[in-house]
Amino acid sequence: MRPFGILRGLLLALGLASAAVSGARAEDGYDLWLRYRPAQGSVARTIAPSADTPTLKVARAELERGLAGLTPATPTADSPSILLGTPSGSPAVAALNLPLKDLGPEGYRIRTLPDGKGNKITVIAANTDIGVLYGVFHYLRLIQTGQGVDMLDIASAPKVKRRLLNHWDNLDGTVERGYAGSSLWDWWKLPDYKDPRYVDYARANASIGINGTVLNNVNAKADSLTAPYIAKAAALADVFRPYGIKVYLSARFSAPIEIGGLKTADPLDPAVRAFWKAKADEIYQAIPDFGGFLVKANSEGQPGPQDYGRTHVDGANMLADAVAPHGGVVMWRAFVYSHEQPDDRAKQGYNEFKPFDGQFRDNVIVQVKNGAIDFQPREPFHPLFGAMPRTNLGMEFQITKEYLGFATHLVYLGPLYEETLKADTWAKGQGSTVAKVIDGRLDGRRETLMAGVANIGTDRNWSGSQFDQANWYVFGRLAWDPEASTREIAADWAKMTFSTDPRFVAPAVAMMMGSREAAVDYMTPLGLHHQMGRSHHYGPGPWVSGGPRADWTSVYYAKAGKDGIGFDRTATGSNAVAQYAPAVAARFSDLKTIDERDLLWFHHLPWTYRLKSGQTLWDGLVIHYSRGVAYVDGMERTWAGLAPYVDPERHAQVGAFLAIQRNEAQWWRDASIAYFQTFSGLPLPAGEKPPAHSLEYYEGLSFPWAPGI
Ligand code: GCV
């Protein structure tokens, strides 16, 4: 053994090798983007006394914690100071007369001023305590990301009112489509035992402006609405309150029968209405700031008003009336489709909801998934955006990666979210973006919502992988400002989570920004969708057919045959294009104007169709699949080169996951090509390797224990 080997052996024996060799301490990702490691060039600061409300206490504690980590030097009498507070709670803040009016209940202003004694004071002020907490996190972020904080004048206010996580967490601790361990909520031990981790959950959410959380799965159990579970939810609400986070619950529509002793859940039945009113009163008694209900009704087997011949409006308005006296809302999901309905699944949400525009109560928000099918790697924006100007429409994104490789694929979802939010609905002419629908500007709506299906669980790293934390992070930042740049957000996240060294940040951000397109390429290029394994949704399954429902198969969507591939949603097919504004419909319909990324979503085309590149559709498909695999190869190499900037523990985990992703990307490519080639009957383009195995091999793979089901 060489001398270094001997030393390394000794260190290994002591469990110190990796940390000592790299100079970085081993980390497991628990601290998320709130690591507060010493920042270069930062100056010690003192914090002026502030009022003692619960939220200001946590704001102050966070600032102390952040500064202690970021600027380890001890402040002296000459150190610049920070003043926190609201004009109503702090005479010192009031005396400054800062312009706060336009910042609303959650916005903040950070301004550096001379302190009159030859030094500087930075004021973090807001109309409410929670605004101050948000300002503190912004201030810390500036230091964490290496930006100067010596002369600040910043004002920020959220553009969306309700910025919510939706947990698909079950009462037994499992998480539907969860890939990060079990549910964080230990329902069994609540309300008596409150896991300290709940506080860290709240801190992390507050740091990115998330202000609400739906605790339980939309495939809900009525038990969540019983007294013992209300008490458990109330205990969580107590923990979250200082952080500005309200608790919401998914409500099972048939609860009046299951826990109310009624024979019906008909929303027009007076006894049913009385049940919900009493239930709302009971919940608000325990949780005075309860946010409201989220409902999945008449979708995928869930009960709903249609079971009684009633409508979504009847159901949603009944619940809305129950929570209205308490200031609550109802988020009613537009994710509805039925296999008994012969029409294209992509059209069904619009068909069911559009006729009700203007009929929902003011405290109902119709919650619409970003696309018309189901969180696919790429979907055109949902046609309901822009189509219901007299209805509050909220966005539902998926943060957990049900269709994007679970926790082990590095796929940064910022570009997916940004693509949807920037999409132009043309509802009121050019520039009527989805972002403007969501933040209420397009139609002058004030009850606004962005919801994200959480990717959080009991894994030490919270999200199943280090890079999946970035998806939670970018969701929160975009909910605050739907027009923010997801590249800049990625850069902030990378700096806070790993290193501010530009030699790390530039390649890491570049890798992240291309990662979603790579996943589209190796999974579902050129507008293909819903090609994954049955039920668990793991890995490729383009051959999935038969079973209980056609709309749960892959063949329903790709429509591959000898004549070609793709779903004709133009006027010659299902005419789903007609659900969009005429300018958008025309663009999608015309092969000359459609962006080829959506090609097979809207068109069924022969294998020999010529793409803009001049390649045939078949060659282009194969090349896209391979390009996706090559990108993952590149990520592996990039990541290997970033070892000097990352602690060994996290570096190794990301590296191992990239190796999994590399193999699975190849599997997606090979299995898809093997299957589609049986229809195209064409050879692979020159230089393309044939699939490693036979089609039968891929079809025979089975994953009964895949997570998240
Ligand atoms: C919570 C998809 C998922 C389901 C999910 C459903 C929904 O179908 O596969 O797990 O159920 O969407 O959003 O309601």
The full set of domain ranges for the chain reads 54-156, 162-497, 500-548+605-709
Question: Is the CB–ligand 1 distance for residue 218 below 6 Å?
Answer: yes
pLDDT tens, 358-406?
Answer: 999 999 999 999 999 999 999 999 999 999 999 999 999 999 999 999 9
Distance 530 CA to ligand 1 centre (A): 13
Band of residue 223 on the pLDDT scale cut at 50, 70, 90: very high
Compute the average pLDDT of residues 238-265: 98
Compute the average pLDDT of residues 107-124: 94
The predicted pLDDT at position 22 comes to 40
Per-residue CA distances from 139 to 98, 122, 244 (Å) = 17, 10, 18
Band of residue 7 on the pLDDT scale cut at 50, 70, 90: very low
Question: Is the CB–ligand 1 distance for residue 176 below 6 Å?
Answer: yes
The pTM is what?
0.96
Does 374 participate in catalysis according to the annotation? yes
Residue 8 has pLDDT above 80, yes or no: no
The predicted pLDDT at position 515 comes to 99
pLDDT tens, 523-566?
Answer: 999 999 999 999 999 999 999 999 999 999 999 999 999 999 99
The predicted pLDDT at position 118 comes to 86
The predicted pLDDT at position 50 comes to 87
Residue 10 has pLDDT above 50, yes or no: no
Q: What is the gyration radius of the CA atoms in the chain, in angstroms?
A: 26
Residue 84 has pLDDT above 70, yes or no: yes
Number of Cβ atoms within 10 Å of the Cβ of 114: 9
The predicted pLDDT at position 621 comes to 98
CATH code matching the domain that covers 54-156, chosen among 2.40.50.150, 3.40.50.620, 3.30.379.10, 3.50.50.60:
3.30.379.10
Superfamily of domain covering 500-548+605-709: Alpha-glucuronidase, C-terminal domain (3.90.1330.10)
Band of residue 117 on the pLDDT scale cut at 50, 70, 90: confident
Compute the average pLDDT of residues 65-92: 93
Name residues whose C-beta falls within 8 Å of residue 170's C-beta, 6 or more positions apart in sequence: 176, 183, 216, 217, 221
As to burial, measured by CB atoms within 10 angstroms (0-12 exposed, 13-18 middle, 19+ buried), residue 3 is exposed
Question: In terms of Cα–Cα distance, which of 50, 54, 64 is closest to 239?
Answer: 54
DSSP code string of 643-683? GGGS-HHHHHHHHHHHHHHHHHHHHHHHHHHHHHHHHH--P
Which candidate in 27, 266, 374, 649 is catalytic? 374
Residue 254 has pLDDT above 60, yes or no: yes
Band of residue 338 on the pLDDT scale cut at 50, 70, 90: confident
pLDDT tens, 183-220?
Answer: 999 999 999 999 999 999 999 999 999 999 999 999 99
Does 169 participate in catalysis according to the annotation? no
The predicted pLDDT at position 157 comes to 98
Does 696 participate in catalysis according to the annotation? no
The predicted pLDDT at position 78 comes to 85
Residue 19 has pLDDT above 60, yes or no: no
pLDDT tens, 454-513?
Answer: 999 999 999 999 999 999 999 999 999 999 999 999 999 999 999 999 999 999 999 999
CA–CA distance, 561 with 542 (Å, rounded to integer): 12
Question: Longest Cα pair distance anywhere in the chain, in angstroms?
Answer: 84
Band of residue 42 on the pLDDT scale cut at 50, 70, 90: confident
Compute the average pLDDT of residues 46-66: 95
Q: Which of 169, 219, 221, 300 to mutate to test the pocket of ligand 1 (most atoms within 8 A of CB)?
A: 300
CA–CA distance, 209 with 108 (Å, rounded to integer): 12
Residue 14 has pLDDT above 80, yes or no: no
Compute the average pLDDT of residues 156-161: 98
The predicted pLDDT at position 574 comes to 98
Question: In terms of Cα–Cα distance, which of 236, 206, 211, 248 is closest to 32?
Answer: 206
The predicted pLDDT at position 339 comes to 84
Name residues whose C-beta falls within 8 Å of residue 477's C-beta, 6 or more positions apart in sequence: 208, 209, 484, 489, 492
CA–CA distance, 545 with 540 (Å, rounded to integer): 13
Name residues whose C-beta falls within 8 Å of residue 15's C-beta, 6 or more positions apart in sequence: none
Compute the average pLDDT of residues 607-621: 98
Superfamily of domain covering 162-497: Glycosidases (3.20.20.80)
CA–CA distance, 399 with 426 (Å, rounded to integer): 27
Question: Is the CB–ligand 1 distance for residue 169 below 6 Å?
Answer: no
The predicted pLDDT at position 77 comes to 83
Q: Mean pLDDT of all residues in the chain?
A: 95
Per-residue CA distances from 616 to 587, 685, 689, 707 (Å) = 22, 10, 18, 38
Burial track 622-644 (b if 16+ CB lie within 10 A, e otherwise):
bbbbbebbebbbebbeebeebee
Distance 525 CA to ligand 1 centre (A): 23
CA–CA distance, 449 with 439 (Å, rounded to integer): 8
Distance 504 CA to ligand 1 centre (A): 37
What percentage of residues in the chain have a pLDDT greater than 70? 96
